């Protein structure tokens, strides 16, 4: 298992060059079980990354950061803490200096503060670039578990912190991380009756927020492509609600298809080559796909009821969707050609927004029952329904790329005067533990998680 890290081709699509420093074969001594709720997070020590005087001065000039080494370690620390699986220890208790710890940790010292894993490292300024090396140590066994180094442009320093977290997470849990990722969402401002909505994007930890539209037209339900930096969303540009495609690298956008009516509820196919969506005409919504290369439109469902919120299985062979053909909103699955339609939700209440897990085994959904909204998961045949969280209003779960965490949005109830409305992003572990509000600059809704930027 531990060899997987070294075998992975660290080909960073953009700016990263990754070098494997010391591929050491060791036995996985620390194991974090992520399949159950973790009430006992693993104590880890994140030693500030060591930095020499010259490098410090250079980065201070370029990035306006006093000590880039400790800034990067703060990102790692925060990510690990947010995951709920780790408990980063207070730095005040650290006995060993960062530079010495990185060379050869005195394990007794780290053992004394009950750290089970230790992250050390070094930051240097080389040829106008940022070079970072880091090591992960097993404190109890007194062994190095991993050592990596990479070089990038200094402005990418936050991503360095996320990539280190992904590597540490993967090494300790045996599963890919989800930290070097972004969230596309809808930023909201203004009163409920006159809400201004903008397309916005940020890093998974809320930093580097950027607005992608100005708020002149209503925009809704952005979704990331699982393969590249494309986003599909619904825009009311010129009061014509249509599905759009946006390249977030270039800013280019276009309407998807020329449908004689409203298109909505778009998502990408797992290979990123098709958009699946609803098309509403004459009071009936059905599911269609459009091939982005040859622009061929295919009708997938054909039923007088409302068919919407389609989502592909990760192998592209099946589709889950929302339909009220039974009289009320329920969740269905079908083959990707529209055949073999099966209802899978049979619990009490209404079900909506089904999303297939990237691992393939579960479907996340929103459930409405007795005036409460729930986010839950069920197996793809509808069995094993598990409700993760209950509230006045919440919906639209989106999976982290490793299928371990769900992000969704929650709205508050207004008072009798209609005041006190807010919409925020929240995340929760698949286990139902570790529910957290995700900080955003403005009110926010409709989050969609990107895949890992580096893999």
Chain residues that interact with other proteins, rule: CB under 8 A = 191-193, 195, 218, 220-221, 234, 239, 241, 261-262, 264-265, 278, 280, 282-285, 306, 308-309, 322, 324, 328-329, 352-353, 366, 368, 371, 392-393, 395-396, 411, 413-414, 416-419, 421, 446
Report the residue number, 384 or 418, with the smaller CB distance to other proteins. 418
Of 129, 131, 108, which Cα lies nearest the Cα of 118? 108
Beta carbon nearer to other proteins, 156 or 442: 442
Q: How far is the CB of 238 from other proteins (least distance, A)?
A: 11
**DSSP strand E in 248-392: where?**
253-255, 262-268, 274-281, 284-291, 297-299, 307-312, 318-323, 330-335, 342-343, 350-356, 362-369, 372-379, 386-391
Q: Which two tokens stand for residue 312?
A: 């592909």
- β-strand partners of 120: 135
Minimum distance of other proteins from residue 314's CB (angstroms)? 21
Q: 15 with 453: CB under 8 angstroms?
A: no
Closest distance to other proteins from the beta carbon of 184 (Å): 15
Q: Where are the alpha helices (DSSP H) in 105-229?
A: 107-112, 157-173
Residue 62 or 220 having the CB closest to other proteins = 220
Structural contact between residues 162 and 203, judged by C-beta atoms closer than 8 angstroms: yes
Q: How far is the CB of 7 from other proteins (least distance, A)?
A: 41
Specify the residue, 71 or 395, whose C-beta has the smaller distance to other proteins: 395
Whose Cβ is closer to other proteins: residue 115's or residue 355's? 355
Q: How far apart are the first and last CA of the chain?
A: 17
Please, which residue, 123 or 265, has the CB nearer to other proteins?
Answer: 265
Residue 214 beta carbon to other proteins: minimum distance, rounded to whole angstroms: 17
Residue entry with tokens 């002149």:
216
For strand 42-46 and strand 86-88, is the pairing parallel, antiparallel, or unpaired? parallel
Q: Which residues have C-beta within 8 Å of that of residue 9, sequence separation ≥ 6?
A: none
Closer CB to other proteins, residue 98 or residue 354? 354
Nearer to other proteins, 23 or 190 (CB): 190
- Rounded to a whole number of angstroms, the minimum distance from the CB of residue 262 to other proteins is 6
Least Å distance, CB 325 to other proteins, is 12
Distance CA(355)–CA(405), nearest Å, equals: 13
Least distance between other proteins and beta carbon 349 (Å)? 12
Rounded alpha-carbon distances, angstroms, from residue 203 to 164, 199, 206, 218, 356 = 15, 14, 5, 23, 23
Which DSSP state fits 305?
S
The label of the residue with tokens 């591929």 reads: 23
CB of 306 to other proteins, least distance (A): 4
Structure tokens belonging to residue 339: 């055949």
Q: Which is nearer to other proteins, 269 or 285 (CB)?
A: 285
Q: What share of the chain is helix, strand, coil (3-state, %, to 5)?
A: 15, 40, 40
Query: Strands 219-224, 210-211: parallel, antiparallel or unpaired by DSSP?
Result: unpaired
* Smallest distance from other proteins to CB 317, Å: 23
Q: How many helices (H) and strands (E) does the chain have?
A: 6, 31
Residue 258 or 293: the one with the smaller Cβ distance to other proteins is 258
Evaluate whether 312 touches 318 at the Cβ level (below 8 Å). Answer: yes
């Amino acid at each position: 298992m531990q060899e997987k890290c070294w075998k992975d081709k660290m080909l960073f699509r953009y700016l990263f060059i990754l070098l494997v420093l010391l591929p050491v074969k060791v036995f996985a001594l620390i194991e974090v079980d992520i399949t159950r709720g973790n009430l006992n997070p693993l104590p880890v020590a994140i030693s500030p990354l060591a930095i020499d005087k010259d490098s410090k001065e250079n980065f201070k000039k370029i990035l306006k950061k006093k000590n880039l080494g400790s800034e990067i370690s703060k990102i790692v620390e925060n990510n690990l803490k947010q995951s709920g699986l780790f408990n980063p220890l207070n730095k005040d208790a650290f006995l060993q200096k960062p530079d010495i710890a990185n060379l050869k940790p005195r394990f007794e010292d780290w053992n004394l503060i009950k750290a089970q894993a230790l992250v050390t490292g070094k930051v240097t300024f080389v040829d106008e670039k940022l070079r970072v090396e880091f090591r992960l140590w097993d404190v109890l066994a007194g062994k190095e578990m991993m050592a990596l180094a990479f070089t990038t442009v200094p402005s990418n320093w936050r991503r360095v912190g996320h990539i280190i977290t992904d590597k540490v997470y993967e090494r300790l849990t045996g599963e890919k991380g989800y930290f070097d990722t972004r969230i596309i969402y809808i930023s909201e401002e203004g009163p409920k009756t006159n809400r201004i909505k903008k397309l916005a994007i940020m890093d998974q930890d809320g930093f580097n927020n950027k607005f992608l539209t100005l708020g002149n037209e209503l925009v809704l339900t952005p979704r990331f492509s699982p393969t590249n930096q494309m986003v599909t969303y619904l825009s009311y540009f010129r009061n014509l609600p249509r599905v759009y495609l946006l390249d977030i690298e270039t800013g280019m956008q276009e309407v998807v298809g020329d449908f004689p009516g409203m298109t909505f509820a778009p998502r990408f196919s797992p290979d990123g080559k098709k958009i699946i969506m609803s098309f509403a005409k004459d009071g009936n919504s059905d599911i269609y796909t459009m091939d982005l290369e040859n622009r061929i439109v295919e009708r997938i469902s054909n039923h007088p009821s409302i068919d919407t919120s389609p989502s592909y299985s990760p192998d592209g062979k099946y589709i889950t969707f929302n339909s009220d053909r039974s009289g009320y909103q329920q969740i269905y699955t079908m083959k990707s050609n529209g055949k073999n339609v099966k209802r899978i939700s049979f619990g009490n209440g209404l079900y909506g927004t089904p999303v297939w897990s990237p691992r393939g085994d579960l479907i996340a959904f929103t459930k409405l029952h007795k005036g409460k909204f729930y986010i839950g998961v069920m197996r793809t045949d509808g069995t094993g329904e598990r409700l993760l969280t209950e509230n006045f209003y919440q919906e639209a779960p989106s999976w982290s790329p490793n299928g371990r965490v769900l992000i969704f949005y929650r709205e508050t109830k207004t008072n009798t005067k209609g005041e006190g409305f807010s919409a925020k992003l929240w995340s929760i572990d698949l286990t139902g533990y570790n529910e957290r509000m995700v900080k955003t600059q403005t009110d926010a809704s409709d989050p969609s998680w990107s895949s890992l930027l580096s893999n």
